[in-house]
Amino acid sequence: MTAIATLGSHCALQVLKGAKDEGFKTILICEKKREKLYRRFPFIDELIIVDYFKEVLDEKCQSILQQNNAVLIPHGTLIAQMSSEEIESIKTPIFGNKWILRWESDRGMKEKLMIEAKLPIPAPVLNPKDIKKLVIVKRQGAAGGKGYFMAASEEDYNTKRNQLISDGIISKDESLYIQEYAAGVLAYLQFFYSPLKGELEFFGVDQRHESDIEGLARIPSEQQLKSDKVPSFNVIGNSPLVLRESLLEEVYNMGENFVEAAKKMVAPGMNGPFCIEGVYDENAKFTSFEFSARIVAGSNIYMDGSPYYTLLFNEPMSMGKRIAREIKLAVESNQLDKITT
């Protein structure tokens, strides 16, 4: 029997509920401090209690997972808390492509894959001296928007960077990534690519609510101008969005181009869930500033099925359940190696 395991954070509830509904044993790698929370949910069969998530790399944890024939579902917390080398060293089979996670974490590699996928990306700014328009300054990896800031000139950049350093939010030698700020309606496009079927599915769209950039928009400009705090983009939650139907054709094209590019650049390609993140401008032109090569927390809003999956499945289908369904199909047809790395 196969089990499905994940780290206790991000979208663990959705993933394990979906796994249980598909008949799998479910395992949660859970930090002690969150044990009480996760014990509330009866669909979690076993908790591996750890002090830190990094213990998933230890022999002890790996052997429990191995005894259970577990498949590990990677999500944002795995990426945020472990280096690419550490993730790649995990012996438990990882759902999807663990090698592509490095391409998500490294800003340079990310840009390369997005260009290969013909995604319209905001222009990168290599040197703070070249800041001529409004830019957003980001940290490496999936920092979830924490410590990000906007700047309109080199001077502005230096002031804000120094302030964040003295506030202890970023470190002095941290290399920052600068790109042009793209204004418009935020849209995080969630997909699933099934290597078993060779098919791309469009799952849904979410928007992120980010503090304190959102809070800033709710106060009058007079107070905004007086504030000397550097607003961050820390994600607090997500809400659903449906797109104008006329935009769907392009959405599928972007998803397909991304799958194609990933196949070419990083074998075995973009298997499983992924997300293309960006904004639509006043001409409904999409600019993509980011991708996630695994399930995103924004899929939590559709635990009972998304509008677009309602069109494809005659049953409530969450992203967590879709992942479990793919694993079930692979187990039944002896193709687990096709969907894990």
Q: Which of 27, 56, 137, 142 binds ligand ATP (CB under 6 A)?
A: 142
179 binds ligand ATP (CB under 6 A): yes
143 binds ligand ATP (CB under 6 A): yes
Considering beta carbons, is residue 76 or 269 the nearer one to ligand ATP? 76
- Contact between 220 and 200 under an 8 Å Cβ cutoff? The reply is no
206 binds ligand ATP (CB under 6 A): no
100 binds ligand ATP (CB under 6 A): no
233 binds ligand ATP (CB under 6 A): yes
Q: How many residues sit in the footprint of ligand ATP (CB under 6 A)?
A: 20
Could you give the dihedral angle defined by the CA atoms of residues 214, 215, 221 and 226, in that order, rounded to the nearest 10 degrees?
-120
Q: Which of 99, 290, 308, 322 binds ligand ATP (CB under 6 A)?
A: 290
Q: Which of 64, 111, 154, 181 binds ligand ATP (CB under 6 A)?
A: 181
286 binds ligand ATP (CB under 6 A): no
Considering beta carbons, is residue 277 or 326 the nearer one to ligand ATP? 277
- What's the closest the beta carbon of residue 21 comes to ligand ATP, in angstroms? 27
Written as six digits, the tokens of 239 are 């809400």
- Contact between 197 and 339 under an 8 Å Cβ cutoff? The reply is no
145 binds ligand ATP (CB under 6 A): yes
Q: Which of 8, 96, 144, 298 binds ligand ATP (CB under 6 A)?
A: 144
Per-residue three-class SS string for the chain: CCEEEEECCCCHHHHHHHHHHCCCEEEEEEEHHHHHHHCCCCCCCEEEEECCHHHHHCHHHHHHHHHCCEEECCCHHHHHHCCHHHHHHCCCCEECCCCHHHHHHCHHHHHHHHHHCCCCCCCEECCHHHCCCCEEEECCCCCCCCCCEEECCHHHHHHHHHHHHHCCCCCCCCCCEEEECCCCEEEEEEEEEECCCCEEEEEEEEEEEEEEHHHHCCCCHHHHHHCCCCCCEEEEEEEEECCCHHHHHHHHHHHHHHHHHHHHHCCCCCCEEEEEEEEECCCCCEEEEEEECCCCHHHHHHCCCCHHHHHHCCCCCCHHHHHHHHHHHHHHCCCHHHHEC
- What's the closest the beta carbon of residue 292 comes to ligand ATP, in angstroms? 5
292 binds ligand ATP (CB under 6 A): yes
Q: Which of 95, 99, 148, 308 binds ligand ATP (CB under 6 A)?
A: 148
Q: Which residue is closest to ligand ATP by CB?
A: 142
Task: For residues 291 and 113, give the distance between their C-alpha atoms in angstroms, rounded to a whole number.
Answer: 10
- What's the closest the beta carbon of residue 100 comes to ligand ATP, in angstroms? 14
128 binds ligand ATP (CB under 6 A): no
Task: For residues 97 and 340, give the distance between their C-alpha atoms in angstroms, rounded to a whole number.
Answer: 6
Binding mask 21-60 for ligand ATP (x = CB under 6 A): ----------------------------------------
298 binds ligand ATP (CB under 6 A): no
Mark the segment that binds ligand ATP (CB under 6 A) among 55-63, 143-151, 263-271, 299-307.
143-151
Task: For residues 291 and 278, give the distance between their C-alpha atoms in angstroms, rounded to a whole number.
Answer: 9
- What's the closest the beta carbon of residue 299 comes to ligand ATP, in angstroms? 13
- What's the closest the beta carbon of residue 69 comes to ligand ATP, in angstroms? 30
Considering beta carbons, is residue 182 or 262 the nearer one to ligand ATP? 182
Written as six digits, the tokens of 82 are 């472990």
Considering beta carbons, is residue 143 or 265 the nearer one to ligand ATP? 143
Taken as a whole, the chain contains a residue count of: 341
- Give the interface with ligand ATP as residue ranges (CB under 6 A): 76, 122, 136, 138, 142-145, 148, 179, 181-182, 186, 208, 210, 233, 277, 289-290, 292
